Structure 1
Amino acid sequence: MEQLNSTVVPFNISSTPGPSPHLSSDSRGVAPAILMCLCFLLGFPGNIAVVIVKPNWQHLSSVSQSLMLNLAISDLFSLLTLPLWIYSLLYNWPFSLVACKLLVYLVNGSVYGSLLTVTVLSVQRYLLLVHLHNCFLIGIRKLLALLWLASLILATPVLVTQQLITDRRWVRCKSQYSSEASWIVMLLIQCLMGFVSLSVMAFAYIRLHRKVNQGAFFNNPQTTRLVTSIIVAHFVLWVPYHIINVLGVAAISLKKKGLLNFCMKSWKIVTPLIFVNSSLNPLLYAFASRSCTVCKKPQKLNREASNSPKPVFQVADIGTHAGPQQAQHSEK
């Protein structure tokens, strides 16, 4: 995620050509600053609302509730520092090097936490609906602790690479790599992390979609639209970032100056899209759950409860189902 401000350029490609401009603000940061401003105005209050209100979560399992709450909190942390980055894009970095490292570490850890939570949430829904497993092998607290531990470990390299760099007459909090190899390694780690996550999500939701189409679980077409919107939004907003990272690896390895310059400019556009995803998550994972209302009971559970009346389950989440007593109460 630090590629938004990456200025360490291999094989003598300078990112700071030309004389120092006499401007009160840096016009190069206007476009990403506007996009980040919109993300903050939409996503910050939205995630706060999710944390406080927990809309339509009464029929969710405890695992789904914990994962959705963790998703909102991680997105909230990643969006919390956006006003500072907006200011630093338009003007100078106002704080010390220590603050630069810690804030970038917080943002990267939060973004990784959001990405891993979305992945785990898709796996949880897959296990519940396709294999009828209600939980993971470990407790939810241990799962969340491992998730955040992995996120913070993945974000650790920014504590080394982030530096205060003079760009023309501006002071920036940017990543600086000691060599081309270290930059390539960082990009490859991000690419691997991203593609593994996207592959797991794609597999889980494709299987879920097939299960939905069998008609045994959901009859509401809004459920299919919700599943589709979740995976499409994540793909659309994350894939450009990973593609540019792959092109960046190729440009550095092959020493293609033109391609690297293209990547440097593209990073400033595709990186803010990650914050757009954090802004949309409250809509996709919480408020959109209102559209998932009625579903039929799985055939396997029907056989196990053959001595009781057939319940109709009310579902607020595509990966959970209400118990028979809740369903009978809703019928009344």
Structure 2
Amino acid sequence: MGEFKVDKFNIEDFFSGDLDIFNYSSGMPSILPDTVPCHPENLEINRYAVVVTYVLVTLLSLVGNSLVMLVILYNRSTCSVTDVYLLNLAIADLFFALTLPVWAASKVNGWTFGSTLCKIFSYVKEVTFYSSVLLLACISMDRYLAIVHATSTLIQKRHLVKFVCIAMWLLSVILALPILILRSAVKANLPTLVCYEDVGNNTSHLRVVLRILPQTFGFLVPLLIMLFCYGFTLRTLFKAHMGQKHRAMRVIFAVVLVFLLCWLPYNLVLFTDTLMRTKLIKETCERRYDIDKALNATEILGFLHSCLNPIIYAFIGQKFRHGLLKIMATYGLVSKEFLAKEGRPSFVSSSSANTSTTL
């Protein structure tokens, strides 16, 4: 563990509602200089309930994403381009969730792990956050090219899609560098330490940049790509009356929809908070408290996302269910008669045999 780096930290920053190890927020003062300071309120949801939630999410993510990785790797000889993307998505979600127990512990006792581990855990969380979103955007582009243009492009070839995934991981590593550089264990005017960006005094503009970066490249740009690609993909499928392909696309659409439902509320609240902090929206104590409460609540919804994709595969993905039952039958956990009763799924390809989307 590294040594604690204890710097002076404005008490107003601590009560801004943004001094939270999960936020991509600015930590700018929550009060206006020409007004009476807002008295801090207890804005947190019961922290022990939050700890239990994070632990449950970690366990579900660990089991679910491990099973997804197992099924894909066990059937790697027949896995599709989309399966390669989903394998990397499962890895990202798994490592993201594995950081949650550390953050949960810090909710109760403050940050007690030192500056070095603060940087490491923050960086892992940030890299996996970016990579999962960028991989979802890549899946949407792959489906768009395969179905709308019916073309076999480089990213649709299974032996080359690995390089696309590597590129997304490298991009995530680069985008997360500010967190690695600036995160540190800092001490507010309170006994506990926090894992937070240490950018010194009078750095409000830099903190805004640190907030806008993940909102732009970790949400807005990938979301626009997904909406564009899936909009045209759906139109093509309906115009061609390709019913079986509609069913094959259900898993991918569900994954994107869940991502949207989990992260859109948090990003909308965060964007509103940014507008208020840049004084484009008038800041009041009541508005500050409301936004801080909303950030705490929507943040939990966002972290829940890391364990939901395997649940989607289990309930919607015919290929995933069959693959899992096949493994279980191999080791005698289910009977071969039960496996036969479930039936083998029909694998539907788009423009090539390597673009099945029925995970």
Tell me, yes or no, whether TM beats 0.5. yes
| Matching residue of 1:157 | 178
Paired residue type of 1:256: E
| Matching residue of 2:302 | 274
Preserved contact between residue 2 and residue 174 of structure 1 (Cα < 8 Å) = yes
Preserved contact between residue 185 and residue 193 of structure 2 (Cα < 8 Å) = yes
Shift of 1:166: 3.6
Provide the rounded CA distance (Å) in 2 between the counterparts of 1:292 and 1:217.
22
Paired residue type of 2:301: L
Bigger shift: 114-123 or 264-273?
264-273
What is the percent sequence identity of the aligned residues? Answer: 25
| Matching residue of 2:283 | 256
| Matching residue of 1:246 | 271
**Structure 1 residues without counterparts, runs of 5 or longer:** 20-25, 294-312, 327-332
Q: Secondary structure at the match of 1:315?
A: coil
Paired residue type of 1:189: L
Compared CA separation, residues 5 and 171, structure 1 to 2 (3 A):
farther
| Matching residue of 2:162 | 141
Preserved contact between residue 165 and residue 172 of structure 1 (Cα < 8 Å) = yes
| Matching residue of 2:84 | 66
Provide the rounded CA distance (Å) in 1 between the counterparts of 2:60 and 2:204.
37
Q: How does 1:138-217 map to 2 (within 5 A)?
A: 139-166=160-187, 168-178=190-200, 179-193=203-217, 194-217=219-242
Question: How big is the alpha-carbon RMSD for the aligned residues of Structure 1 and Structure 2?
Answer: 3.5
Preserved contact between residue 59 and residue 321 of structure 1 (Cα < 8 Å) = no
Deviations 1:136-172 (A, max 9, x none): 3693232122111110111111123323234543322
| Matching residue of 1:290 | 318
Provide the rounded CA distance (Å) in 2 between the counterparts of 1:73 and 1:16.
43
Q: State the TM-score, normalizing by the size of structure 2.
A: 0.71
1:265 equivalent to 2:293? Answer yes
| Matching residue of 1:47 | 65
1:9 equivalent to 2:9? Answer no
Compared CA separation, residues 198 and 18, structure 1 to 2 (3 A):
closer
Bigger shift: 260-269 or 50-59?
50-59
Paired residue type of 1:283: I
Provide the rounded CA distance (Å) in 2 between the counterparts of 1:37 and 1:204.
35
Preserved contact between residue 105 and residue 155 of structure 1 (Cα < 8 Å) = yes
| Matching residue of 2:330 | none
| Matching residue of 1:306 | none
**Structure 2 residues without counterparts, runs of 5 or longer:** 1-19, 322-344
Shift of 1:78: 0.5
Deviations 1:172-219 (A, max 9, x none): 223344411112112222222211111111122222222222344333
Shift of 1:268: 2.2
Provide the rounded CA distance (Å) in 1 between the counterparts of 2:41 and 2:229.
50
Preserved contact between residue 26 and residue 208 of structure 2 (Cα < 8 Å) = no
Provide the rounded CA distance (Å) in 2 between the counterparts of 1:130 and 1:261.
47
